[in-house]
Each structure stands twice: as structure tokens, then as C-alpha cells.
A and B are shown apart, each in its own frame.
Chain A
Amino acid sequence: MSPLERDPREADLLDAERAVAAQVGAADAVAPVGTGTHREVGGPPPAGVEVRAPVGVVMYDPAELTVTVGAGTTVEELSGILSEANQECVLDPRDATATIGGTLACGLSGLRRLRYGPLRDRVLEVRFATAAGELVRGGGPTVKNVTGYDMPRLLVGSFGTLGVLTRVVLRCQPRPMHAQWGHTSDDPATVLARSFRASAVLWDGARTSVLSEGHPDDVVSQIATLGLEAQEGPPPVPVGAHRGRASVAPADVIAVGRSLDAIVGARWIAEAGVGTLHVACDEESTLADARQAVTQHGGWLLREEGAPGLDGFGVELPNAALMARVKTAFDPTNKLAAGRLPLAPREDARIAS
């Protein structure tokens, strides 16, 4: 019996995954789709046969703190199942109808990254359909594992350009006993220096909002220590026809925020201590200005929605030659999610035909 088929509970999922792999293998161009919450991330939706990952939570043992899901399962559905055991997997996409595969492919880490780290740290195992129509598994089901290369990290943030995720094993955690948001007019650097393991410190240029999670008495004392005024839920994350996510060094968040404030029509909120900023606006040119401000500080801005005139990241991919080799290794004809990443075929590497 092959390792893939060891567990009968996986058999149904495996059949569905094989069907996806066959579909991917047969197509000349493939557009992996989830529920469409990030259809426009990085650029217009790629052309090709739309391929959807299997749905369903196939294995969940709360005592193990891990869960195995079809990549087409929505975050919402998974959260519902985990919360029955008072657990969660910190995925936190802006829209909970997003699929887990899509959230992973877009590399969305959510607003609680400050405490819980990036999404890539929670992915234990992946299985994906390759361009050639095979199923490939990487990583492993246990919470600790160094058996072979870290394929899960390679797939997180790859925008479907290396393979179509069909199944993932995620690390879960107990839900915090208590959670409370609060805000202050102190600048985020001061708040960060005085807080301990805050789950989020968000800053919109005027107000710093803090999420404290843990034992109720500790939450109360953190709120008091930081002099926070309690607030119901997180501050609003900006919305608009044109939207992007920026990434800057954490030390530059305040300076970048100030630059964004100078751009009329740019609405933004920053994850202090992390370096991610969420920007939205009504005019495409405003997002272009925001991108320029971010790049001037050595960061980049990924177009997430709208702004058809803006390319993906606005900066050249670092190590483009190496990335092109990785892309070629998995998708030699560039048929998977073509255009999601600005990876140009290297002329010098073209096989003479």
C-alpha cells in the first residue's frame, strides 16, 4: 500500500485530488480559482481552464492540534469546525469566504501576524497538482518535521503558479480565553515597546488600536498598562475600488504612514511591528502614488483589487533568474496562473527546438 492511501478516511479526498490533477495535466492553460475573493490579485485573472480544489475537512483530531482539509474549503467552514473544539487556525483573510488554498496561494497572513507569525509558519503539509498532472506532497503531517525540502513554504505566496493546491495540513491552536481591542493616541512604536505579545497593533496615522488576547486578568492589565480605551472589534480596514497591500521594514511604518497621509484620497491602516500596510482608494492614480511612496522607502505594494493599469508588485522580483528556474522546474510551459507573477522566460535558457 502506498503511503498516500494508508488512511481510508483520505480515500475520497484523494479521488477528488486525482481528478483535479488530471484536469490540470490535460489543460494548456490553467486558472486555479477559489471563491474569487482575490480574483484580481497581482493582475487581471489569468486565462485558462478554471480549476477548483476539493472541499472538506477530512481529518481533525483536536488533541493533536492539526487539521487536514481540502484546499477548496472556505476559511469560514474550517473556523466553524475548529471552534466546536475551542480551537482556531489563524488564517484571518479579510473575507472569510476565501478558500484555504486561495489564502495560502496569496500568502495572506491576517491582522494577528504580530503575535502568531506569518501564515507560512502554520502550514505543515501540502499536496498539489503539478503542471504535468501529477499529485505531489511536501512537508509532513506532524507539528515538527525536517524530512526533505520545505515545499509548503514554497507554495505559500506562489499565486498558483507552481501547482494547484489540493490538500493542506494546518497547525491549530487553542482559542484565547479572552480577547479585547482598545485604542490610544500614543504612537505605535511606544505601544509596541510597552506591550507584551500583543496580537495586533494597528495604526491609521491618528489612532493606535491594540488587540490583547489571553487570560482575562492579563488582558485587563495589558489594557491598563497601555492606557487603552476599550473598543468593540477591530478598526475598519480601508475599502475602495482600488486596493493594495504594502510591505515595508517594520521600522519604516511610521514614515511610510506619514507619506501616505500626504496623498489625498489614500486610506490606509498599518500593522505596526510587522510592516504590512493596507491601502485603498477611489482613483487608480492614488494607488499608483501610494505605491511610489512605499517604494521610496524600500518596500513594495501588491495590487489586490482594481487598478488595472498597475502591474503586480511595482518592483522587479528579487532573484528573478533563480525564481524563473524554480518556475520552470514545476511549470515549464508557463501554463499555471500565467501572469500572476512577473516571471519572464529567460531567452538564454530556452531549449533549442
Chain B
Amino acid sequence: MDRALLADLRAALGSDRVRAEPLELHLYGRDAGVDVGEASAVCFPATAEHVVAAVQVAARHDRPFVARGSGTGLAGGATPVGRPVVIVTTHLNRVLEVDEQQRLAWVEPGVLNLDLSRAVRHLGLHYAPDPSSQQACTIGGNIATNAGGPHCLAYGVTAAHVLAVDVVLADGSVAMLGGVTPDQPGYDLRGCFVGSEGTMGLATRIAVRLTANPPEIRTLLLDFTSIDDAAATVSGVIAAGIVPAALEMMDAEITRAVEDFVGAGYPRDAAAVLLIELDGLEHGVEAQVERVRAVGSSHGARTVRVAADEAERALLWKGRKSAFGAIARIAPDYYLHDAVVPRTRLVDVLRQVYAIASEQRLTMMNVFHAGDGNLHPLIVFDGREPGIWARVHAAGDAILQACVAAGGVLSGEHGIGLEKRDAMPLVFEPADLDAQARLRDAFDPSGRANPDKVLPQGSRCGELARIPEGAWV
């Protein structure tokens, strides 16, 4: 069966663009998360037509297909389930058009996030969503996961920056969702597609909004002797009516690890540090710097360091962005969580999260987008230790439950994928899940686009029984 599938894929794309050797199938069997699957073939299309052809071949063979960018996803979104055809977009990596006047760019899905910002830097523009993985992840993957990043606090997550998407649907047809006009007649299908994790089709061409670089930027490092004080400062800054460009928090363990790794000048003895960026016009920025300083001091900030120049600013950010490189030196394995809580509940939820880690005797660090309440508890461990995985998973489940109980949600930016699919009933009623399943089925009636992701089995509740006579579907 696979032989016929492979032959058809090779005939359609060229044999060098289709791989099925054991090594490739293994390499593309997972993303950066923990779930492992198995592909039947891995395709490397170089054009949108190749993508259409691959999807059509998959349809003819009644096989599922899974879109894949760089595979940096952490929720198993790109993990192949049910021996699908994996379609990798990394060769679709051209910036097609930069429209300086309208501040937008048309790109292929495999363009790396940071490469786009680099390509428009000379125009005084950038692409605002900046996931920590921005050197490695693709714009296509960002759109599929509705990725966030430190600067999404003020600038909004990916969804706010996507204007239009050409999508290859599961039947091989192509639809342009959205457009460069401010609104489109009818439903916001582009809005539905963003964050759909490859379950509604595969993006082959994307128009994104570009953002003007701010004239003034101030980057502050505040250091605290207690986690509670740092968390209270986060809530205090928001409550003071300031929405910084970025507001990141790092706890003691990760601060030390980062400092040992890059020497950004972070205080090694701090219980927590906050990295806060303010941008905009001169007077507003200065006023906000003073305001943040005051809020920090009133919550016991030991020092408030304002980066003196661009070099110091870059160094402070390098520390934050090297966090994952730093932990690789501590233990071979890590499990990075992602959940959101109301910002006013940060102190309380963080305490619970640390208690969960110590209960399970696990090393945990926290480096996260504090300004929007987006927690990233990071468990570091050695997977070879007997029984460790059970504890890691137990801690993860407990953390999610604590976040949901505090009025939070399952994921702020990594997505649901396989990882959290079965936790969806924690936050949604059967009727909610059924509605989501209907939406997905409207995009992909065949159910072949990245099946088994996002929605748990049994999400569709007896819809056939409810369709009245004469109804159109």
C-alpha cells in the first residue's frame, strides 16, 4: 500500500522530494515535544503546486497528511499519527514581496520568523510576534499555532498580524482566506485558520502585517529577593495602567543558569528578575519608566537597572532568549509547560506550581511571559532515571489543573496538539467541543488534515440525529 503511495508521490513531486528511508521517518516522527508517531512518507515540496499534488495523492490513497514547518512545536502538532504523509515546508522559504507603503509582506510558509524581520530591518520595520524559538521556527508553523512571544504583550499574538493565507484544503483545492482589505465579506475564515494546528489545511502563502520600529525603547531589569514580590510587581504594573512592550519573568534557578551560560550581568543571588521593555514616543516612555520603577520599589525590588545603550539592551535580551540553551547544560531532558492564568492570580498560582514540583521531587524553573499571565513551568530531569516520567506527567497534570482552577486556560501559545487534547474537557463542555468539531469538519469533511489533534475523541455528539429533514449540509 505504501509502495503505491510513494510511487504516486514521487511521480507528482519528483523522487528527490519524497523520502521514506527509516532514518527520515524516524527524524520526522516527532516535533520538539514528547509524543512520537510514524510517517509513511516525508515530502519536501518546493512550490505550492507540489503541496497541492501531495495533498491530492494523499486524498487518492485516503491517507491523512500532516503539515510540518521546523518541528519546533511543543504540543505534538506535527507528530505523525496514523502513518500520514508528512509535508515539510522548509523548502518553501522565499519572502515573495515586501510592501513598504502598506507595511505588509507576502511570504512562503517555510520562511523563518527571524529571517523575515531581518529582511525588512533596513526599512525600519519588523515582524512583531517573536517566539523564543524565532531563529528556528517557520511563519507557517507560527500561524498554525498562533504563536506568541515576549513582545506579543503589547503588539498582540500572531493572529493580529496575519492578513491573508492561501490554504490547500484536504481535497486539494486552494482557498485564499482573508485579504489585504481591512475586512472581507462573510465569515472570518482566516481567523479560524490561524491557530488550527494544521487541521484545516496547509498554508502555502501568507500575508503578514509589518510593524514600525518604535523611536524609543527602554529595557529594564528589576531584581527581587522573593518570587512573590516579583509576581506582585507584574500585577502591579498592569494594574497601574501600563501595558509594556514585554514583561518577562525568570526565577532564581533559571537566572543563575542563564548567567553562567551567557554572562548577561543578571544577579546570581536574585530570587527572581523581571525584564521589562517600554517603547513608543519619548515622553510617554520616560513616564512609564518612572512608574515601573516606583511599582517595583514599592514591592521590594532590590535594584532597577535601565539598559544604558543598545549593546546592554541586546545583552539583557540575549540572557532571556538563551534560557533553553542554558538548561541543556543542567539535565538532558526538559518538559516545558504552557498555560495561562489571570494576571491577578500569578502570586498564588506560582506558589502552587512550586509546591507541585517539590511534591513530585522534581527540579523546576520558571521563565515566562508574565505580563499576560502565560506561565512556562519548565521541568528538567534525566529521562533515564527509573520512574521519572510518571512523576513528570503527574506534575504536568497537576499544574494544568491548578491553572484551570484559577480561571486559566490550557495553552497560551504552544497549542493543544496531541499533548493537551485529552485535557480539553477540563475547560470546554461537550456542546463547546461539538461546535469546534463542526467548524473543523466544515473545513475538512474528510478528516484527513492532521487527524487526532486538538479535539479529543468523542467531540462530535450525535450531530446526524439533529439534522432536520430537508436540511442542507
CA–CA, A84 and B166, complex, Å:
44
Given the known A-B contacts A148-B428, A315-B185, A353-B470, are A215 and B287 also in contact in the complex, defined by CB atoms under 8 Å? yes
**Pairwise interchain contact A276-B411, C-beta atoms closer than 8 A:** no
Kindly identify which residue among B183, B414, B428 contacts A118, using a CB–CB cutoff of 8 Å.
Answer: B183
Within 452-473 of B, Cβ neighbours of A (below 8 Å) are at 454-455, 466-473
**Pairwise interchain contact B194-A150, C-beta atoms closer than 8 A:** yes
From A63, A64, A144, A222, residue with most partner B Cβ within 10 Å:
A144
CA–CA, A58 and B427, complex, Å:
20
Chain A positions within 8 Å of B454 at CB level: 148-149
Q: How large is the interface on B (under 10, 10 to 19, 20 to 34, 35 or more residues)?
A: 35 or more
9 extra A-B contacts, CB within 8 A, seeds A142-B373, A247-B181: A144-B340, A146-B414, A149-B195, A150-B159, A217-B282, A322-B442, A332-B468, A349-B472, A351-B471
CA–CA, A215 and B411, complex, Å:
35
8 A/B residue pairs, CB under 8 Å, sorted by A: A136-B431, A144-B152, A147-B409, A251-B101, A302-B185, A317-B185, A317-B186, A329-B438
Closest partner residue, chain A, to B147 (CB atom): A146
Kindly identify which residue among B159, B243, B283, B436 contacts A215, using a CB–CB cutoff of 8 Å.
Answer: B283
Contact with B along A266-280 (1 / 0, CB 8 A): 000001001110000
**Pairwise interchain contact A148-B239, C-beta atoms closer than 8 A:** no
- Chain A residues bordering chain B, tally (CB within 8 A): 97
CA–CA, A319 and B188, complex, Å:
11
Stretch at the interface among B11-19, B172-180, B388-396: B172-180
Given the known A-B contacts A121-B159, A174-B241, are A147 and B473 also in contact in the complex, defined by CB atoms under 8 Å? no
Given the known A-B contacts A86-B241, A151-B435, A319-B177, are A142 and B408 also in contact in the complex, defined by CB atoms under 8 Å? yes
**Pairwise interchain contact A130-B175, C-beta atoms closer than 8 A:** no
**Pairwise interchain contact A351-B467, C-beta atoms closer than 8 A:** yes
CA–CA, A99 and B8, complex, Å:
55
Chain A positions within 8 Å of B386 at CB level: none
CA–CA, A327 and B183, complex, Å:
19
Closest partner residue, chain A, to B436 (CB atom): A149
**Pairwise interchain contact B192-A197, C-beta atoms closer than 8 A:** no
Does B445 sit at the interface, judged by CB under 8 A?
A: yes
Kindly identify which residue among A62, A121, A197, A345 contacts B239, using a CB–CB cutoff of 8 Å.
Answer: A62
Within 399-451 of B, Cβ neighbours of A (below 8 Å) are at 407-416, 420, 424, 426-429, 431-436, 438-443, 445
**Pairwise interchain contact A4-B429, C-beta atoms closer than 8 A:** yes
Chain B positions within 8 Å of A3 at CB level: 426-429
**Pairwise interchain contact A157-B239, C-beta atoms closer than 8 A:** no
Chain B positions within 8 Å of A184 at CB level: none
Does A205 sit at the interface, judged by CB under 8 A?
A: no
CA–CA, A149 and B189, complex, Å:
11
Does A45 sit at the interface, judged by CB under 8 A?
A: no
**Pairwise interchain contact B195-A63, C-beta atoms closer than 8 A:** no
CA–CA, A21 and B311, complex, Å:
58
Does B146 sit at the interface, judged by CB under 8 A?
A: yes
Task: Output the least CB separation between A254 and chain B (Å).
Answer: 11
**Pairwise interchain contact A145-B439, C-beta atoms closer than 8 A:** no
**Pairwise interchain contact A333-B183, C-beta atoms closer than 8 A:** no
Chain B positions within 8 Å of A315 at CB level: 185
Within 115-162 of B, Cβ neighbours of A (below 8 Å) are at 145-146, 148, 152, 156-157, 159-160
Chain A positions within 8 Å of B283 at CB level: 215-218, 221
Does A37 sit at the interface, judged by CB under 8 A?
A: no
**Pairwise interchain contact B187-A326, C-beta atoms closer than 8 A:** yes
Chain B positions within 8 Å of A324 at CB level: 472
Does A313 sit at the interface, judged by CB under 8 A?
A: yes
Does B387 sit at the interface, judged by CB under 8 A?
A: no
Task: Output the least CB separation between B155 and chain A (Å).
Answer: 10
Task: Output the least CB separation between A74 and chain B (Å).
Answer: 23
Task: Output the least CB separation between B426 and chain A (Å).
Answer: 8
**Pairwise interchain contact A144-B440, C-beta atoms closer than 8 A:** no
**Pairwise interchain contact A154-B191, C-beta atoms closer than 8 A:** yes
CA–CA, A87 and B239, complex, Å:
11
CA–CA, A140 and B159, complex, Å:
15
**Pairwise interchain contact A333-B185, C-beta atoms closer than 8 A:** no
**Pairwise interchain contact A250-B183, C-beta atoms closer than 8 A:** no
Task: Output the least CB separation between A222 and chain B (Å).
Answer: 7
Does A248 sit at the interface, judged by CB under 8 A?
A: yes
CA–CA, A162 and B184, complex, Å:
17
Does A156 sit at the interface, judged by CB under 8 A?
A: yes
Task: Output the least CB separation between A20 and chain B (Å).
Answer: 15
Task: Output the least CB separation between B472 and chain A (Å).
Answer: 4
Task: Output the least CB separation between B415 and chain A (Å).
Answer: 5
Task: Output the least CB separation between B428 and chain A (Å).
Answer: 7
CA–CA, A329 and B341, complex, Å:
32
Does A249 sit at the interface, judged by CB under 8 A?
A: yes
Chain B positions within 8 Å of A134 at CB level: 431
Chain B positions within 8 Å of A137 at CB level: 428-429, 432
Contact with A along B99-124 (1 / 0, CB 8 A): 10110000000000000000000000
Given the known A-B contacts A144-B152, A151-B439, A154-B192, are A322 and B175 also in contact in the complex, defined by CB atoms under 8 Å? yes
CA–CA, A154 and B192, complex, Å:
6
Chain A positions within 8 Å of B470 at CB level: 333, 350-351, 353
**Pairwise interchain contact B186-A148, C-beta atoms closer than 8 A:** no
Within 240-287 of B, Cβ neighbours of A (below 8 Å) are at 241-243, 280-284, 287
**Pairwise interchain contact B157-A144, C-beta atoms closer than 8 A:** yes
Chain B positions within 8 Å of A333 at CB level: 468, 470-471
CA–CA, A331 and B328, complex, Å:
51
Task: Output the least CB separation between B86 and chain A (Å).
Answer: 22
Chain B positions within 8 Å of A224 at CB level: none
Chain A positions within 8 Å of B68 at CB level: none
Does A79 sit at the interface, judged by CB under 8 A?
A: no
**Pairwise interchain contact A149-B192, C-beta atoms closer than 8 A:** yes
Does B369 sit at the interface, judged by CB under 8 A?
A: yes
**Pairwise interchain contact A146-B435, C-beta atoms closer than 8 A:** no
Does B238 sit at the interface, judged by CB under 8 A?
A: yes
CA–CA, A189 and B100, complex, Å:
12
Kindly identify which residue among A64, A138, A158, A197 contacts B343, using a CB–CB cutoff of 8 Å.
Answer: A64
Does A72 sit at the interface, judged by CB under 8 A?
A: no
Chain A positions within 8 Å of B194 at CB level: 150, 153
Chain A positions within 8 Å of B340 at CB level: 140, 142-145
Does A97 sit at the interface, judged by CB under 8 A?
A: no
Task: Output the least CB separation between A114 and chain B (Å).
Answer: 10
**Pairwise interchain contact B415-A64, C-beta atoms closer than 8 A:** no
CA–CA, A281 and B426, complex, Å:
53
Kindly identify which residue among B188, B284, B408, B431 contacts A156, using a CB–CB cutoff of 8 Å.
Answer: B188
CA–CA, A130 and B461, complex, Å:
14
Given the known A-B contacts A142-B373, A144-B152, A247-B181, are A63 and B344 also in contact in the complex, defined by CB atoms under 8 Å? yes
CA–CA, A113 and B209, complex, Å:
14
Contact with B along A141-180 (1 / 0, CB 8 A): 1111111111101101110001000000000011001000
CA–CA, A111 and B17, complex, Å:
49
CA–CA, A26 and B273, complex, Å:
56
